[in-house]
Amino acid sequence: MRNKKVSIRGGLMRDMIHDIMETSLGKPIQTGEFRKNPVEPAWVCPSGYEYEIIENGPFKMEFLKPEGVVTGRAVLQLHGGGYIGGMRNAYRSFAGLYSELGRGMSVLTVDYRVAPEHPYPAALEDAITGYNWLLQAGWQEHEIVVAGDSAGGGLALALCMYLKNQNRKLPAGLICMSPWTDLTQSGASYDFNYERDPLFGNTRDSLIYSKDYIQDEDPTNPYISPLYGNFSGFPPMLIQVGSYEMLLSDSELVAEKAKRAGCKVRLSVYEGMFHIFQMAMLMIPESKHAWQEIGRFLDIMEHHLPAEHLDEEDKEIESKFGEVEYE
């Protein structure tokens, strides 16, 4: 699915980001310096939710769940930040949205170790730990959806690839916002969107060219660049990306390859949009629509269960699953 027209508010926000990149703030944003040590107000847990910080040796995780609500389903969230930026308040807001749209789903966000102090495979190891924590806490694989944006979107795919290669059961589905899937930067959009991307465009000195995470590793390793992996057997995927992104090809090529491997994939390209435009929340129509689309995907995943777990109502919905348009 491709939205054909950018909204007025969406275009204004994109242009505002472009203008900011032209100031002295631009370089530290593009290189990730601002992401390494973000200065943010203390986050306040929203009313009606329980919030817990889970210390896990060298890293921590954050667990958010509605008070008094048990859905039996969970989201494992892997945040973005080019593998050099840690947790920030935006992802705590994302967790709240995932829970709300999932009608009470619990959300575990992994504040994984980041480069350059902790290069590959630290982030993947911590993502695996987060997945295992949910299983040990009582969730089953078919009750878990893995979600991530940017580097976190690539990490979500890498996690699924690792689980498959270990002959383990996979999660129910994957949500990937502008996933960073090709750290070789081989896609055509790195060139044709070079001057259009308001966040990473017009420079090679940016996060998407950084070697801090991969260092001397082979960038075509599928656990680093999932584009080079085998997607056979993967669960349904929702991939969202903006048409102005240099990372556009990262999404398009993965969607194409996964579909050829027999996966159910919905690729939604939002016209005129920038990297992780979903952070605009409800301020622009494109972001609002993207979150609505995520809510619909979570609804579908709720009923996409193994046959032994289906009741009669579930079976009716499951029978229509193939009619949902994944392109």
- Please report the pLDDT score of residue 105 as a whole number: 95
Reduced to 3 states (helix: H, G, I; strand: E, B; else coil), residue 147 is strand
Confidence class for position 316, pLDDT limits 50, 70, 90: very low
Q: In terms of Cα–Cα distance, which of 147, 105, 98 is closest to 295?
A: 98
Pairing of strands 49-56, 106-111: unpaired
The residues assigned a catalytic role are 150, 245, 275
Residue 226 burial by Cβ neighbours in a 10 Å radius (0-12, 13-18, 19+): buried
User: What would the mean pLDDT of 280-300 be, rounded to a whole number?
Assistant: 93
Q: What is the pLDDT of residue 179?
A: 98
What's the pLDDT score for residue 29? 86
Q: Which CATH number covers residue 173?
A: 3.40.50.1820
Domains contained in the chain, number = 1
Confidence of residue 1 (pLDDT cuts 50, 70, 90): low
pLDDT reported for residue 287 = 96
Please state the rounded mean pLDDT for residues 291-296.
94
CA distance 145 to 136: 16
User: Where are the alpha helices (H) located in 198-274, listed in sequence order?
Assistant: 248-260
Q: In terms of residue numbers, what domain contains 299?
A: 2-323
DSSP symbols for 49-98: EEEEEEEETTEEEEEEEETT---S-EEEEE--STTT----HHHHHHHHHH
> pLDDT for 130-160, tens place per residue?
999 999 999 999 999 999 999 999 999 999 9
| Bridge partners, residue 78, by sequence | 110, 148
Q: In angstroms, rounded to a whole number, what is the distance separating the alpha carbons of residues 72 and 69? A: 9
For residue 312, the model assigns a pLDDT of 56
What is residue 5's predicted lDDT score, i.e. its pLDDT? 85
pLDDT in tens, 247-264: 999 999 999 999 999 999
Which contiguous run of DSSP H or E holds residue 128?
Answer: helix 122-136
Lowest mean pLDDT across 58-67, 186-195, 201-210: 201-210
Q: How confident is the model at residue 322 (pLDDT cuts 50, 70, 90)?
A: very low
What beta strand segments (E) does the chain contain?
A: 2-3, 49-56, 59-66, 74-78, 106-111, 144-149, 173-177, 237-242, 265-270
Q: Looking at the predicted structure, is the pLDDT value of residue 317 above 90?
A: no
In whole angstroms, what separates CA 271 from the centre of its chain? 19
Tokens matching residue 321 = 């699953």
Average pLDDT, the chain: 91
In the numeric block, the tokens 């900011």 are attached to: 20
